Amino acid sequence: MVSTTHFLVLGAILFTIGTVGVILRRNVIIMFMCVELMLNAVNLTFLAFARHFNQIDAQIFVFFVMTVAAAEAAVGLALIVLLSRRTNSVDIDQADTMKW
């Protein structure tokens, strides 16, 4: 049987992978995917606690986090496309020195 501890450990592993990806990688697309992975890890943790305590509050909060993540994905991808058109690269170091 899968317990709450299994879900929490999986969420911690996913969040750690996302954090390491954001810190170490210089590719904007990879960093963007790692942020999304971190959001999903937090959602998994919320759902684990909702299941453990038999509460629906965390599930409603997860719904709102997913809505914000979808909006963030649309805006983030638009910025990545704009960056790649301006610099012909998706390197974050070039975005730091980009002149508009």
Q: Which two tokens stand for residue 80?
A: 């990545």
Domain boundaries, the chain: 4-96
Tens of pLDDT along 30-85?
Answer: 999 999 999 999 999 999 999 999 998 888 999 999 999 999 999 999 988 988 88
Task: Identify the CATH number of the domain defined by range 4-96.
Answer: 1.10.287.3510
CB-based contacts of 18: which residues, under 8 Å, 6+ apart?
34, 35, 36, 37, 38, 41
Question: Which CA distances in Å does 77 have to 30, 60, 81, 93?
Answer: 12, 26, 6, 18
Note the pLDDT of residue 44: 96
